[in-house]
Structure 1
Amino acid sequence: MITTENAFWDMVVFIFPIVLLINLLRKKTITEHLVIIITTIYLFGLIAVTIFPVPIDSKIMVEYKKQGFGASINFVPFRSIMGSLNHSYFMVGLRNVLGNLLLLLPFGILIGYKRLNKSMIINIGIGLASSIVIELAQWVLTDRYFIFPRSVDIDDLILNTIGFTFGYLIYMVANKIFKNTRKTRILRGISRGH
């Protein structure tokens, strides 16, 4: 079986050097290089967490198919959130809710940084669309028995989109504070005659 951890490190070892080399051959600022490197590592983690583990032995998946295992689907908002928060072991709910909130938070920061669109609604739509793609990939791969059964859940869409929005807002607020602080320093320097 290819586990989440193995998949992540395999991508880092085999794909990251190629991305790094291509990135370093381009003329970019150090900040742009860092953003590309961090984004690449984040995407590896995102793929590893949302798609893996993947069984290597096809017999396992044939057995799952015989037993009727497949993707569980929830279209009722807040059902799985409430179910996991009411779980007898509180860490199950905490892991599910926080994990889904944090999953796309870095992507929200990245979209804020890249300023793909000035409209907050369109940027939140990018987060929602990304979450939909993840859920559809999990459903299709589970339905085709390529990965262990995963859930397709409206609550994941809600939490992922909220997390993306938090990330986007964190970047926008931090950027505004940084710009205001920088402008204040420049104005102080000008008023002192520097």
Structure 2
Amino acid sequence: MSHPDEPARQRGQDALDALWPEVYQDLRRLAGHYVRGERDAITLQPTALVHEAYVRLLREANTSWVNRAHFCAIAANAMRQILVEQARARHALKRGGDSIRVTLVDDAAAAPGGDPDVEALDEALTALAELEPRQARLVELRYFGGLTIEEAAAELGVAPATAKRDWALARAWLRRRLSTGAGT
């Protein structure tokens, strides 16, 4: 007996299969940025992280992607969630030690406070999303999606100048939040 959503799911999987070869190397490079640094704390290699994201995207194959940048942002968000889950599991096992650390996509000057652990960054982004949803989404698109200011601005439907202002404000807010480690 087939599932009523089967045709939509198959179309989504077909779209994912068609797009995947085009974006695989970009996502692999992005995953490499995520796990670079304290590699001994990372149990997933970049290739495994990309493949795990692919499996998650297959489960959600009915998702429609507007363009390549939109797909990369969704895939990068899946990788973020995988790293957050892994950090939480490791944290639970070690009771406060060995949080997974990631290197953020942008250059060191843009990184808010260096390379925060992924769990702290996720908590900070969640808090920022409550205050400034567009800024939080911009951070996700830039750090986790690897998009340029122009690509992220187009994805958000704002002018690049607006995205640049939001970017500066979000970086400053995250830098402060991550350096204090608590609510602001």
Fold shared per TM-score above 0.5: no
Q: Which has the higher helix share?
A: 1
TM-score (norm 2): 0.34
TM-score (norm 1): 0.33
